[in-house]
């Protein structure tokens, strides 16, 4: 049984150092808030989440390499017990719908009052789903967007993002994660996250299977060009 007075262990994920440090200083004033880690990108966030097993993750959506919303499945796998709250500048109902669909426990704007933020963390930790007051009126639109979405496309390749397709192509050519990171000027940890997303979306069990799948795709494309 959870001790209602035990500290809430928090991981802060935001690429803006000044905002991150200010947020940490704010949380430090609350008797139950304990920031156990801070990171600036999705790849490192997944690694730290697996190591630290935080109770709550505050996740920005605009991160280098991989958007916060795209990192949600990986973070949930790394720290299954964590409640993930999006802390973002986006007021778009679609962004909120994407976050909720991928497993976010709450959606807060960065303009939220400090009291509302700490109360939201407490609520999320207790099993609630906090949403910024400014976004509350858009919840209906967000859920309507979720309910009206078509089923997954027949061809799983259609679900890959442009970057994931680029990385899959390099995998087919035999490039390592390190080489792919250099080609696209992104962190190797970010490449690893993209590879995990590719395997999940294509329902493949290994990088070798992904390489074979991509090689067949390239052969098919070249055959159509002839």
Here the CATH number for the domain that contains residue 65 is: 3.40.50.2300
Identify whether residues 142 and 33 lie together within a single domain.
yes
Each residue's pLDDT tens digit, 48-104 = 999 999 999 999 998 888 888 889 988 998 999 999 999 999 888 888 888 888 889
Residue whose pair of structure tokens reads 């630290």 in the numeric block = 52
Contacts (Cβ under 8 Å, ≥6 apart) of 213: 168, 202, 204
Identify whether residues 96 and 177 lie together within a single domain.
no
Identify whether residues 19 and 78 lie together within a single domain.
yes
Partners of 34 in beta bridges: 9
Q: What percent of the chain has pLDDT over 90?
A: 40
pLDDT confidence tier of residue 211, bands split at 50, 70 and 90: confident
Identify whether residues 38 and 57 lie together within a single domain.
yes
- Answer yes or no: is 187 within a domain: yes
Burial 50-85 (b: 16+ CB within 10 A, else e): eebebbbbbbbbebebbbbbbbbbbbbebbeebbbb
Identify whether residues 69 and 89 lie together within a single domain.
yes
State the DSSP string of 197-217: HHHHHHT-SSHHHHHHHHHHH
What's the confidence (pLDDT) of residue 36? 97
Number of domains in the chain: 2
Average pLDDT over residues 24-36: 96
What's the confidence (pLDDT) of residue 1? 42
- Answer yes or no: is 2 within a domain: no
Each residue's pLDDT tens digit, 106-150 = 999 999 999 999 999 999 998 888 888 778 767 666 666 655 655
- Answer yes or no: is 3 within a domain: no
Identify whether residues 104 and 32 lie together within a single domain.
yes
Identify whether residues 143 and 57 lie together within a single domain.
yes
- Answer yes or no: is 1 within a domain: no
What's the confidence (pLDDT) of residue 226? 47
What's the confidence (pLDDT) of residue 144? 63
What's the confidence (pLDDT) of residue 20? 94
Of the residues 147, 172, 197, which one is the last residue of a structural domain?
A: 147
Q: Is the pLDDT of residue 43 over 90?
A: no
Identify whether residues 137 and 83 lie together within a single domain.
yes
Rounded CA separation 180/182 (Å): 5
Here the CATH number for the domain that contains residue 177 is: 1.10.10.10
Of the residues 103, 123, 147, which one is the last residue of a structural domain?
A: 147
- Answer yes or no: is 59 within a domain: yes
Identify whether residues 118 and 48 lie together within a single domain.
yes
Q: Is the pLDDT of residue 218 over 70?
A: no
The larger pLDDT score, comparing residue 133 to residue 185, is at 185
The larger pLDDT score, comparing residue 191 to residue 208, is at 191
Identify whether residues 142 and 178 lie together within a single domain.
no
Identify whether residues 57 and 141 lie together within a single domain.
yes
What's the confidence (pLDDT) of residue 75? 92
Q: What is the mean pLDDT of the chain?
A: 84
**Domain extent for 25:** 8-147
Of the residues 116, 147, 178, which one is the last residue of a structural domain?
A: 147
- Answer yes or no: is 196 within a domain: yes
Identify whether residues 122 and 219 lie together within a single domain.
no
The larger pLDDT score, comparing residue 213 to residue 125, is at 125
């Amino acid at each position: 049984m959870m001790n209602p007075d035990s500290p809430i262990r928090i991981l802060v994920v935001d690429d803006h150092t000044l905002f991150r440090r200010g947020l940490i200083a704010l949380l430090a004033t609350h008797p139950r808030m304990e920031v156990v880690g801070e990171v600036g990108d999705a790849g490192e966030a997944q690694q730290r989440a697996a190591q630290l097993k935080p109770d709550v993750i505050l996740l920005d959506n605009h991160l280098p390499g991989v958007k916060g919303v795209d990192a949600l499945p990986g973070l949930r796998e790394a720290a299954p017990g964590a409640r993930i709250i999006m802390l973002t500048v986006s007021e778009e109902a679609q962004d909120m719908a994407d976050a909720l669909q991928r497993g976010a426990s709450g959606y807060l704007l960065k303009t939220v009052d400090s009291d509302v933020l700490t109360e939201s963390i407490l609520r999320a930790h207790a099993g609630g789903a906090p949403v910024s007051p400014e976004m509350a009126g858009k919840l209906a639109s967000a859920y309507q967007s979720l309910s009206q979405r078509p089923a997954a496309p027949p061809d799983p390749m259609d679900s890959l993002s442009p970057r994931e397709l680029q990385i899959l192509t390099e995998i087919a050519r035999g490039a390592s994660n390190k080489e792919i990171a250099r080609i696209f000027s992104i962190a190797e940890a970010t490449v690893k996250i993209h590879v995990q997303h590719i395997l999940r979306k294509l329902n493949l069990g290994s990088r070798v299977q992904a390489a074979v799948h991509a090689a067949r795709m390239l052969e098919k494309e070249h055959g159509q060009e002839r």
